[in-house]
Amino acid sequence: MLHSNLSINEKGHLCLAGRDVCELAERYGTPLFLMDEERIRRNARTYIDAMAEFMPEGSRPLLASKSCCFKRLYEIVAEEGMGTDLVSPGELYTAAAAGFPLENAFFHGNNKTDADIEYAISSGVGYFIVDNREELDAINETAREKGIVQKILLRLSPGIDPHTQKKISTGKVDSKFGTAIETGQAVELCRYALTLEAVALKGFHCHIGSQIFEYSSFADAAEIMLRFIRELYDDCGFETEMLNLGGGFGVRYVESDPEIDYRENIKGLAGVIDRLCGRLSVKKPSILMEPGRSIVADSGVTVYSVGSVKTITGYKSYVSVDGGMPDNPRYALYESDYTCLVANKADEEADFVATVAGRCCESGDLIQEDVALARPERGDYLAVLVTGAYNYSMASNYNRIPRPPVVMVNEGKDYVAVKRETFEDLLRNDI
């Protein structure tokens, strides 16, 4: 199937990590987020091992928290040796609650408030990834008051369009993120950062976008960043210790997406970085990457119960499920591709073309349009594959629908990592 942790058993049921998805849905109810713990660990190790083997000393991956964020996930990736990047105090709070070593946490965001900065410094966050000058001043001020020196990276925009979807491309000059190299503002910001007493500049960050299937765009970004690092050295003698190339390696959501070998891509990118450092006479910085999707996406399967199956004569068919945009807003947001199948009929011919719709009062509440399914009936289980990233983390309570639980499967066992929300949870803050 799409990924090696997916299979079909003798009953014709879809399995995740060898576990019958329908049995789990029976036990835990639907909608249900399932995640394969071993797959998360394997993905983490792929990055950790390849970066340790091919890249300069100190190179390592950081989990992009926005892709998926709950306590148990931080425990898992910390055990494997990943750091993390966070974009909000809420993510930081979750990591801290999980006992995540915050010296390995990098705090992102294009608009950190004074309260965010205060909170992150008090929590002992390892690094700030500074987006702009006002933020730099605010961090310097708070760190000075607290009598510490805060380590920082500066987020720069390298001016690259990685040919991915517009809404998930972020490294262009015209972007709300970072400070542009092309306009000269990046050099100015560095010179200024170096005059501040309570911040210690360690290096630079860039992030060019998401769903990138081969390393050439990263190599282009690395070249721009390393040229900048060289120029900065000539300008003021600053030696860069860390270069963070962001996240964005792609994931296979549908059969037509390529399979991607992360190890080979990291090796290829490492070779380019090595040669560039040689050619530019730049002292090799340690490399950081911020994979999100490629760590968690293929660990996840969402299971729904099928409700109504409606064929509009002369038009098309709709299969409605008991979840939708509250647990997976990505089709509504980006028209993202997903693979859908009837989990209890996984071995049957998929000859019924339908649009899979959610239960909300929105015509845009769709999971996927015009997909071929085994003939679905009320009470069947419908599985959406590769939902480990940007599903739970983007979930909302729209229409007052409680969020589904996250159940982990691991080595023949299963456990609840995040409980299903209750109606009481929905009222928790209502006065």
The footprint of ligand PLP (CB under 6 A) covers 64, 66-67, 85, 108, 207, 210, 246-248, 290-294, 389
Could you confirm whether 277 is annotated as catalytic?
Answer: no
Instruction: Please state whether beta strands 32-36 and 406-410 pair in parallel, antiparallel, or not at all (unpaired).
Output: parallel
Tokens of 66: 């926005």
User: Could you tell me which of 244, 200, 220, 225 has the C-alpha nearest to residue 282?
Assistant: 225
Q: How far is the CB of 403 from ligand PLP (least distance, A)?
A: 20
Of the candidates 69, 206, 360, 361, the residue annotated as catalytic is: 361
**Distance between CA 345 and CA 380 in Å, rounded?**
8
Q: Please name every residue paired with 418 in a beta bridge, in sequence order, or none if there are none.
A: 406
Q: How far is the CB of 386 from ligand PLP (least distance, A)?
A: 12
- Kindly give, in sequence order, each residue whose CB lies less than 8 Å from that of residue 381, ignoring residues fewer than 6 positions away: 21, 22, 25, 30, 303, 304, 305, 306, 342, 343, 344
Rounded to 10 deg, the angle between the 133-146 and 185-195 helix axes is 10
Q: How far is the CB of 225 from ligand PLP (least distance, A)?
A: 14
Q: How far is the CB of 192 from ligand PLP (least distance, A)?
A: 22
Instruction: Please state whether beta strands 32-36 and 60-64 pair in parallel, antiparallel, or not at all (unpaired).
Output: unpaired
**Distance between CA 91 and CA 73 in Å, rounded?**
12
Tokens of 88: 């909000």
Q: How far is the CB of 86 from ligand PLP (least distance, A)?
A: 10
Q: How far is the CB of 306 from ligand PLP (least distance, A)?
A: 30
Instruction: Output the CA torsion sign for 163, 167, 170, 175.
Output: positive
260 and 249 Cβ atoms separated by less than 8 Å: yes
- Kindly give, in sequence order, each residue whose CB lies less than 8 Å from that of residue 387, ignoring residues fewer than 6 positions away: 33, 297, 300, 301, 302, 328, 338
User: Could you tell me which of 155, 85, 148, 92 has the C-alpha nearest to residue 120?
Assistant: 92
CA dihedral 210, 215, 217, 219 (to 10 degrees): 130
In the chain, the largest separation of any two C-alpha atoms, in whole Å, equals 72
- As a residue count, the chain comes to 431
Rounded to 10 deg, the angle between the 133-146 and 114-123 helix axes is 50
Q: How far is the CB of 322 from ligand PLP (least distance, A)?
A: 27
Q: How far apart are the first and last CA of the chain?
A: 49
Q: How far is the CB of 9 from ligand PLP (least distance, A)?
A: 31
Residues annotated catalytic, as ranges: 361
